[in-house]
Structure 1
Amino acid sequence: MSIISRRLSSRFLSGALTLAVSGVISLAGSAAFADDEVEITNVSYDPTRELYKAYNQVFTDYYKKAKGITVNVTQSHGGSGKQALEVANGLEADVVTLALEGDVDAVQKAGLIKKDYVKDFPLDSSPYTSTIVFLVRSGNPKNIKDWDDLVRDDVKIVTPNPKTSGGARWNYLAAWSFFEDAGQSEQQIIESIRKLYSNVVVLDSGARGSTTSFVENKQGDVLISWENEAFLSIAEYPGQYEIVVPSKSILCQPTVAIVDEVVDQRGTRQVAKDYLDYLYSDDAQRVEAKWYYRPSNEKILKEFSSASDSNVIKQIPEDGKWIITNVKLTNIAHFGGWKKTIEKHFANGALFDSIYEKK
């Protein structure tokens, strides 16, 4: 079984705790400390498995040297919306590192996180960013270049479900913004989005599941993908896939937070804070870039930025400069923030439900 097969098949563990550093998983309610050892749990979203496997090792090495404390980190991964619901319903997490602020809000509304959590860490508690791209098969047989190609009758799409996946919500909003920029009225945009989803052949619950459907199961002509997922795929299958960066996309801001209720019960607040703080360190920012997330540190971002004018990527650049900057990015503020966006587009009975039911 290939590395990516093992990596992608791990989607079946969504919502289950998988150990990232230690050989023992802590049980809910167990003591967090044993002398100079501490256990914390990070509940994250689908495509961060590789990132946090690498980051946890860097952080635990740093913490052992700096403070003499051994930190054992457990990980849980799945669709971001589903993960937020799991934490709200009792899945023990010292920290959450989810796909968007709106999902962390769901945990906050459950009374587990304080209201002003976005002020706890720099840049609205978003240590790294991403964007949305297209992954197509080698040679781009359907000649897919931009969002308007996804509404053609001959194109079959793979994308996750916005009801359970944070990445899927970014996908939807990026498409909406493109059609808006094209001068369409809101009703025309709705019709374009409806046509796009009528072309979806697989609507998985999370981003990693969608990658499995496209890469492993060979379904669809195009995967609407997190940038890092697309790069991992072309790295694992050289010559079989290409990345197409659309002319308009969205600045995706994954959000991190301390789960106050849990850390106060377990006595892990300080190490949880240090764990999230360290995501902004130079060492961690380079780890994030290595796993194809965009560093929030502008200096380090430039270290990985490409000088190429092409929006088609066929292989991992040998110089490591993979970040394409010649793309127009909207952001969640354009839509009025996550509260308004969820109410209008993703809540039960909101626009996505009406679009998908009538596709």
Structure 2
Amino acid sequence: MTLRATDILKAIQKLNPAEKHRLREYLIDALTASSSTGTVLQEISERKNKNGYHCPDCESEHIVRFGKYSTIVDGEEVKKQRYRCKACKKTFTDLTNTALYRTRRLHQWIKFIECMIEGYSLRKSAELVGNVTHVTLFYWRHKLLASLKQIEIPNFEGIVEMDETYFLYSEKGQRKIKDRKSRKRGGSAKKRGISNEQVCVLVARDRDKMTVSQVLGMGRLTKEQLDKAIGHKLSSENILCTDSWRAFKTYAAEKGMDIYQFKSDGKVRTKGLYHIQNVNNYHRRLKAWIQRFNGVATKYLNNYLAWFQVLESIQHQRNEVTMNDLIIRGNLIQNSETYDTIRLTKFAI
């Protein structure tokens, strides 16, 4: 039986508020899914090739069209352009060496991005996305994050707050752990205080909220690690606000930068405009957010730091604009990660 539009509208009017809300959410999801994928792919193609086509392997600009391939867009099979490099003879597409490369379910990525913003577990995300396992979504997650962590921010301006925080070294997911017994539910360090069992994460943030958060190494921060991580984003015109750790003071002296330091006892929290409250609040939000994962393998920690940084920049908003922008930005960056490289990666500094 075919219903007329007027019959459907009358049926909607009879729904209670809760049913109307569920219907509204369903229609939003359905309409978003049916319109976003094609737009996203077109945007990725245009922005990647704004200066002309080039080979992702040898960088040659001598490119010709080389047939088409089939993919699913908006629930339908469509033909997309394939290219061939005249120099190295290799073929490629607009998605070669991106997070979406060789993904067979492009139309499901938008829903998965929504799940990432909401912070759902992989198993719940698999239920919501449909027809995909939580294992596959784990690799989707890290393929995208491997791109997002490469996004460069502008150089710092003015006052820059810096402070380090620490996470217990974790080999979560490793079947055979050497040198120690496996922990249960995260566990705790054997040594008191900060030791080589702890992973140092530096967070630097200026007053425009330009933020760098990065794993530096095991144990205490050194000035060499600091310079390697963010030295290229600082200048002598910056004013540093840090805790009282001596590496910050030594680094500032060598670079000719002004520095204000604050002890952790909390007796003096501010000196006029100078304080580290913004970066300390960032630490608090980061650690509260990361607890939902019940431990993160240290080899993936930089990926999660990049994820949280992106969420902070979009203020954890879930809408079509932010979801599309997230997937577009994540696929404009060279990314050759595969399931095997993600699975076999090792923690290294």
**Alignment TM class, shorter chain as reference:** under 0.3
Taking structure 1 as the reference length, what is the TM-score of the superposition?
0.24
Report the structure, 1 or 2, having the larger helix content: 1
